[in-house]
């Protein structure tokens, strides 16, 4: 008999480490990895490429409904393509980070991408790896509230700013943190208007990684998964 499937949902604010930690957890557990935030970034990139005014919500939503978007879910080498073009690097550019919340707070866009996210999670559940680590803003509460394991990964604002500055600028000095603040604090404020990712919902395990390094955070998540998923994998 095939092993039971395992779906792990991870939410968290910007700079909490949810993407890098989720990817590593997926790699160690032999699961697929789904970065739902990359889907919103890809939608934003495509709208900009098409010359669509991001403030025109109906036009943005119509464009996203027709978007030829594909996601690579191998944690060793995840990728994102639009119409066959690999944009995995381009969607991380500052020009996307600075405006992606305009697309991510478009409710019609969220509805469309949630359908696609659920389809990807279901495919991973039934696929050869037998499961997925899906991370984002509303995975534990809206996209996959029935996930086998639901985690909220948090950290203090100070820790999150330092991590994002180090990731983007290669340093966490005062200037880098100041340059990164908009991508963290403002984006969280914008996105919190359409999803709840700062306080754990009922049944969601909260992990604060403020004083943990990357390896310690990964180990803490794996331990939480082991405890929560024991009945699933037994």
Residue 196: the pLDDT is 58
Please compute, for residue 10, the number of CA atoms within 13 A of its CA located in the half-sphere on the CB side.
32
Residue 197: the pLDDT is 61
Q: Is residue 211 part of a domain?
A: yes
Cα–Cα distance measured from residue 234 to residue 227, given in angstroms and rounded to the nearest whole number: 11
Residue 165: the pLDDT is 73
Residue 135: the pLDDT is 97
Residue 130: the pLDDT is 95
Q: Is residue 38 part of a domain?
A: yes
Predicted TM-score (pTM) of this structure: 0.86
The boundaries of the domain holding residue 32 are 6-222
Q: Is residue 56 part of a domain?
A: yes
Domains identified in the chain, total number: 1
CB 10 within 8 A of CB 135: yes
Per-residue H/E/C for the chain: CCCCCEEEEEECCCCCCHHHHHHHHHHHHCCEEEEHHHHHHHHHHHHHHCCCCCCCHHHHHHHHHCCCEEEECCCCCCEEEECCEECCCHHHCHHHHCCHHHHHCCHHHHHHHHHHHHHHHHHHHHCCCCEEEEEECCHHHHHCCCCCEEEEEECCHHHHHHHHHHHHHCCCCHHHHHHHHHHHHHHHHHHCCCCCCCCCCCCCEEEECCCCCHHHHHHHHHHHHHHHHHHHHC
CATH of the domain at 149: 3.40.50.300
pLDDT in tens, the chain (234 residues): 345 689 999 999 888 889 999 999 999 999 999 999 999 999 999 999 999 999 999 999 999 999 999 999 999 999 999 999 999 999 999 899 889 999 999 999 999 999 999 999 999 999 999 999 999 999 999 999 999 999 999 988 888 887 777 777 777 777 777 777 766 776 766 666 666 566 777 889 999 999 999 999 999 999 999 988 765 544
Q: Is residue 122 part of a domain?
A: yes
Q: What is the pLDDT of residues 55-78, one digit of tens each?
A: 999 999 999 999 999 999 999 999
CB 70 within 8 A of CB 64: no
Q: Is residue 98 part of a domain?
A: yes
Residue 207 φ/ψ, nearest 5 degrees:
-125, 120
Residue 113: the pLDDT is 98
Cα–Cα distance measured from residue 156 to residue 221, given in angstroms and rounded to the nearest whole number: 17
Q: Is residue 227 part of a domain?
A: no
Residue 105: the pLDDT is 94
Residue 191: the pLDDT is 66
Q: Is residue 232 part of a domain?
A: no
């Amino acid at each position: 008999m095939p092993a039971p499937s395992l779906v792990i949902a991870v939410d968290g604010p910007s700079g909490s480490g949810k993407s890098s930690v989720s990817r590593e957890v997926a790699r160690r557990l032999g699961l697929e990895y789904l970065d739902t935030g990359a889907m919103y970034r890809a939608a934003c990139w495509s709208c900009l490429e098409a010359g669509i005014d991001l403030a025109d919500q109906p036009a943005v939503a119509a464009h996203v409904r027709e978007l030829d978007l594909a996601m690579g879910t191998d944690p060793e080498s995840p990728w994102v393509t639009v119409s066959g073009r690999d944009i995995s690097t381009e969607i991380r550019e500052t020009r996307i980070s600075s405006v992606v919340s305009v697309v991510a707070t478009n409710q019609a866009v969220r509805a469309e991408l949630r359908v696609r996210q659920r389809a990807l999670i279901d495919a991973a559940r039934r696929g050869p790896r037998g499961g997925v680590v899906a991370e984002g803003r509303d995975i534990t509460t809206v996209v996959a509230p029935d996930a086998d394991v639901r985690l909220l990964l948090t950290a203090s604002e100070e820790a999150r700013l330092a991590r994002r500055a180090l990731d983007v600028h290669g340093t966490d000095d005062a200037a880098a943190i100041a340059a990164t603040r908009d991508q963290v604090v403002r984006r969280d404020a914008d996105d919190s208007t359409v999803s709840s990712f700062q306080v754990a919902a009922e049944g969601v395990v909260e992990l604060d990684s403020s004083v943990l390094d990357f390896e310690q955070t990964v180990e803490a998540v794996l331990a939480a998964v082991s405890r929560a998923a024991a009945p699933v994998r037994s």
